[in-house]
Amino acid sequence: MADDAATVRMLIGKQIRQARLSRGWSQSQLARALSDASGGCITTAHYVSRWERGERNPGYVWAPVIEQVLDLDLSTSGATASVGLESIELIQPPVATVANGGSEDDPMRRRTLLGGGLGLTSSAALDSVSGMLEPVHRQLDAVLAGPITEHDAIEWERAADHYSRLVGRLPAEQVLPGILPDLTDLARQIETISDPLRLQLLRSYSLLSGLAATSLAGAGYWLDAERYWRTAERAARLSGDREVGSRVASKRAVLTLYAPSGSPVSVLSIADDALGLSDGRISPGSVNALAARAQGLALVGDRAATRKALSELETAFEKLDDQETHGWTAWSWPETRLHHVRSFVYSHGGELQEAFSAQDVALKSYKRPLSTGAVQVQMHRARSIISSGDPSQGVRHMVTMLEQIEPSFRHGYIGTSARFALQALPERAKRLPEVRQVYELISGGGT
């Protein structure tokens, strides 16, 4: 049965890919066309890629949309075929806690786990169940439709907080199946109400969109991430909440450091926008913007300006509310982040003694040695080892670290961190066999 399902997925994927290429579309362009034609659902290049590779079945939700947009008939391939009950029964709410914990009976948490799979069930079963659950969920929403209340607004704030504790810790494919449908549901509610509840929902919509962008960037889907950054910033403006706008813009500035189309100039511009939204207040948004400025200037190579920016960041961090420096979410600013920025600045500034010292402090501050932030610091270390005159050892260090992490994390900002490190290689060392290993490990991300 598993072999049959894999064959069906491969046939479907081949049809989709051929139809897409015949139109001259990229995977991102097809994802955009499908989202526009879906009547409210959203998909990304990540899922188009998985469909085309035969890793997922489009299921009941997307098969009809694909047929409409690409003028295909997937019914004979089994694109909407169900799986047997014996496969569905494989799905059980796991007992183990995830990230910062929480009850296995939490509906939002279960939805995220089921959507992402967490490797606990067969992908064929998940593809089918995911396709069946979403229409059922939408029917239930229609039956329960009623006036939006303050309670709904609070629930969306809780959902945004929940996801902020998962993004960056779990791969995109485990988080986005929860965030994206929730964004669709929230958008539908926003359309039906007026102020002041609408402003509260727009605030949550901005944060959820920013989290989707962060997750996509972490997996290397930069073009898709850009779309969600724009949505997040527009929602923040419409909400009138300048602090949320500052949080979103500053997060975008930091991650633009690693985007293929990013540049230090664009990083500094976005960081300035975030600082403007903060109105001079010390907050996670303004502190993150100062961090982006320091890192952007380090890439420019202006040592004096970088030192000044880093000093401003350190001063602002000392004034942060204690609540914002404890715990971990995608938006908080614990001391670990300050150590990370110091590591980045000194490593890219070529100040080796300070760089190695900053890296030591940063690595000790991470509770999980293979977290995305810690592995980025290891890429800083590799760059410093290369700059100190031992390129072979530096590149071997990169290979060792990259081989230990979840493959999908290699293609986003960790992949760019690796490329930054390789930029320090002297010409004679670029032919080292380990260099090819690094490129093989970080290749194959999103479009």
For residues 111 and 241, give the distance between their C-alpha atoms in angstroms, rounded to a whole number.
Answer: 29
> What's the CATH fold of domain 1-80?
434 Repressor (Amino-terminal Domain) (1.10.260)
Closest CA to 385 of 399, 373, 404, 371: 399
The angle formed by the CA atoms of residues 250, 255 and 258, to the nearest 5 degrees, is: 145
Closest CA to 447 of 28, 47, 35: 28
Length, in residues, of the chain: 447
For residues 227 and 10, give the distance between their C-alpha atoms in angstroms, rounded to a whole number.
Answer: 29
Write out residues in the chain with pLDDT < 70, as ranges.
1-5, 38-42, 59-61, 75-146, 444-447
Q: Which two tokens stand for residue 124?
A: 């064929």
Closest CA to 212 of 256, 246, 168: 168
Condensed to tens digits (0 to 9), the pLDDT of residues 146-166 reads 678 888 899 999 999 999 999
Closest CA to 378 of 389, 394, 367: 394
Element (H, E) at 22: helix 2-22
| pLDDT at position 325 | 79
Percentage of residues of the chain with pLDDT beyond 70: 80
Residue 412 · residue 218 · CB < 8 Å = yes
For residues 168 and 353, give the distance between their C-alpha atoms in angstroms, rounded to a whole number.
Answer: 30
* pTM given for the model: 0.68
For residues 228 and 233, give the distance between their C-alpha atoms in angstroms, rounded to a whole number.
Answer: 9
| pLDDT at position 271 | 96
| pLDDT at position 292 | 97
Matching residue, tokens 């969306």: 156
- Dihedral, 115, 116, 121, 125 alpha carbons, nearest 10: 40
Q: Which two tokens stand for residue 389?
A: 């005159």
The angle formed by the CA atoms of residues 299, 344 and 403, to the nearest 5 degrees, is: 110
For residues 306 and 350, give the distance between their C-alpha atoms in angstroms, rounded to a whole number.
Answer: 12
For residues 289 and 277, give the distance between their C-alpha atoms in angstroms, rounded to a whole number.
Answer: 10
For residues 148 and 194, give the distance between their C-alpha atoms in angstroms, rounded to a whole number.
Answer: 10
| pLDDT at position 24 | 92
The domain locations on the chain are 1-80, 106-240, 241-333, 356-447
Residue 99 · residue 169 · CB < 8 Å = yes
The angle formed by the CA atoms of residues 195, 183 and 123, to the nearest 5 degrees, is: 165
Element (H, E) at 300: helix 284-300
For residues 215 and 225, give the distance between their C-alpha atoms in angstroms, rounded to a whole number.
Answer: 8
Residue 51 · residue 90 · CB < 8 Å = no
DSSP state, residue 424: T
For residues 70 and 232, give the distance between their C-alpha atoms in angstroms, rounded to a whole number.
Answer: 29
Please report how many Cα atoms fall inside a 13 Å half-sphere around the Cα of residue 113, on the Cβ side: 21
| pLDDT at position 308 | 96
Residues 6+ apart with CB under 8 A from 59: 79, 80, 127, 128, 130, 131, 132
Condensed to tens digits (0 to 9), the pLDDT of residues 367-408 reads 888 889 999 999 999 999 999 999 999 999 999 999 998 888
